[in-house]
């Protein structure tokens, strides 16, 4: 199998982490997987990306099986459907490009047109959730498989005995889609309560968003309550999950939401939005969900969970119980491999 990704595979975002776990899992199953890292800028593929992909596709023998991360979709424009006629190409769509937050209406229309034009040429599409599958099907794709990610579970869920400020945790790269500014606006309404927020996620991927977050923290006067902890390597977050009281992430859209699954596995109650696939990932018994972009509703939910210890305990129990039903990574990789095999036939 040839696994085509835009840029380095070792980037720390949900999509790249999922890609990497698939590659590692397939290799552990004994499959031969070649990772092809395309150079250039994405999701708008430049000449470097297209030239590199063209050379890759030209060297693959007829009938070769390949999967492409959806973020690299634009690079395939000059080569489809001819490449799809001689190769078994499968797309791996974490969420549609057209649903990204922070892009203009014109860009959204352009990405939607690109996805509607190119995705039906693939042998099929793998999606992480029913919601994303429905969004892809709306583009006219007939063959869609759902393969959710796995979750790493701690050996035991820690017992939380709240003392001092309530500890809020948010794990997400600082980009417009993750809703950090909405979270800060909501917390600025809760200065009468005793809380602290730790933000874990890359500060470099989107410098403009990072600067906006820093500015909003200063304007709100909550510098002593909010810690910008930066990016942490995968698998190194056990201490922050075990020390937190509540996980909060008010995304504008999620194709699945791996951070939510990981937080639930640690028994954390969730405060999030009803955007994208989040309601499929976070059931009502595990968290409080509000409309995306609604700082007032988010503040109300946060106030409720901060002051009500019994509610936190109830949601924490629901989170841990639901996480126990989610697939482990070996189970998830087996499901992903079976989905790929069905489409690549």
For 143-185, the pLDDT digits (tens) are 999 999 999 999 888 887 777 899 999 999 999 999 999 999 9
Average pLDDT, the chain: 96
CA distance 250 to 292: 7
- What ranges do the domains of the chain cover? 2-150+327-344, 166-323
Share of the chain above pLDDT 70, in %: 100
Establish how many alpha carbons lie within 13 A of residue 77's alpha carbon, considering only the half-sphere containing its beta carbon. 18
pLDDT less than 70: residues of the chain: none
Residue 161 contacts by C-beta under 8 Å, 6 or more apart in sequence? none
What pLDDT, on a 0 to 100 scale, did the predictor assign at position 159?
80
pLDDT in tens, 118-144: 999 999 999 999 999 999 999 999 999
- pLDDT value for 233: 86
Instruction: Look at the chain and count its residues.
Output: 345
User: CATH number of 166-323: 3.30.70.120, 1.20.120.350, 3.90.1150.10, 3.40.50.2000?
Assistant: 3.40.50.2000
E strand residue ranges, the chain: 2-6, 34-38, 65-69, 88-92, 124-127, 144-146, 166-171, 195-200, 226-230, 246-249, 270-273, 287-290
pTM metric for this prediction: 0.94
- Answer whether 2-150+327-344 and 166-323 agree in fold: yes
Contacts of 6 (CB under 8 A, 6+ apart): 37, 38, 40, 42, 43, 45, 49, 69, 71, 72, 75
What is residue 235's predicted lDDT score, i.e. its pLDDT?
80
Architecture (CATH level 2) of domain 2-150+327-344? 3-Layer(aba) Sandwich (3.40)
Question: In 3D, which of 325, 336, 326 has the Cα closest to residue 28?
Answer: 336
pLDDT at 234: 78
Give the integer Cα–Cα distance in Å for 10 and 207: 19
Nearest CA to 301 out of 164, 182, 158, 178 is that of 182
Please, are residues 74 and 114 in contact by the beta-carbon 8 Å criterion? yes
Residues 217, 199 contacting (CB under 8 angstroms): no
Residues 201 and 171 sit within 8 Å (Cβ to Cβ): yes
Residue in 146, 153, 132 with CA at minimum distance from that of residue 335: 146
Q: What per-residue confidence (pLDDT) applies to 163? A: 77
């Amino acid at each position: 199998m040839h696994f085509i990704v835009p840029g380095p595979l070792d980037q720390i975002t949900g999509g790249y982490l999922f890609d990497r776990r698939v590659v590692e899992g397939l290799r552990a199953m004994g499959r031969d997987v070649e990772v092809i890292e395309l150079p250039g800028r994405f999701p708008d593929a430049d000449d470097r990306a297209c030239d590199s992909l063209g050379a890759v596709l030209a060297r693959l023998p007829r009938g070769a099986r390949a999967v492409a991360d959806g973020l690299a979709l634009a690079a395939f424009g000059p080569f489809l459907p001819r490449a799809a006629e001689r190769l078994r190409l499968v797309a791996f769509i974490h969420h549609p490009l057209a649903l990204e937050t922070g892009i203009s209406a014109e860009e959204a229309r352009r990405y939607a047109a690109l996805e509607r034009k190119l995705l039906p040429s693939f042998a099929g599409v793998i999606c992480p959730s029913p919601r994303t599958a429905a969004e892809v099907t709306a583009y006219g794709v007939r063959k869609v498989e759902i393969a959710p990610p796995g979750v790493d579970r701690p050996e035991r869920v820690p017992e939380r005995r709240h003392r001092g400020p309530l500890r809020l945790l948010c794990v997400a790269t600082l980009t417009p889609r993750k809703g950090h500014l909405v979270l800060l606006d909501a917390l600025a309404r809760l200065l009468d309560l005793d809380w602290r927020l730790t933000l874990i996620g890359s500060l470099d991927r989107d410098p403009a968003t990072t600067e906006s977050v820093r500015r909003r923290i200063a304007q709100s006067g909550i510098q002593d309550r909010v810690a910008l902890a930066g990016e942490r390597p995968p698998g190194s977050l056990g201490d922050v999950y075990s020390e937190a009281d509540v996980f909060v992430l008010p995304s504008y859209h999620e194709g699945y939401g791996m951070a939510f699954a990981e937080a639930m596995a640690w028994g954390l109650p969730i405060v999030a939005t009803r955007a994208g696939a989040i309601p499929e990932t976070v059931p009502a018994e595990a968290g409080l969900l509000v409309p995306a972009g609604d700082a007032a509703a988010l503040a109300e939910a946060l106030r409720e969970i901060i002051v009500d210890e019994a509610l936190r305990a109830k949601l924490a129990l629901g989170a841990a119980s639901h996480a126990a039903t989610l697939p482990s990574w070996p189970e998830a990789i087996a499901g992903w491999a079976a989905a790929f095999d069905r489409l690549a036939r």
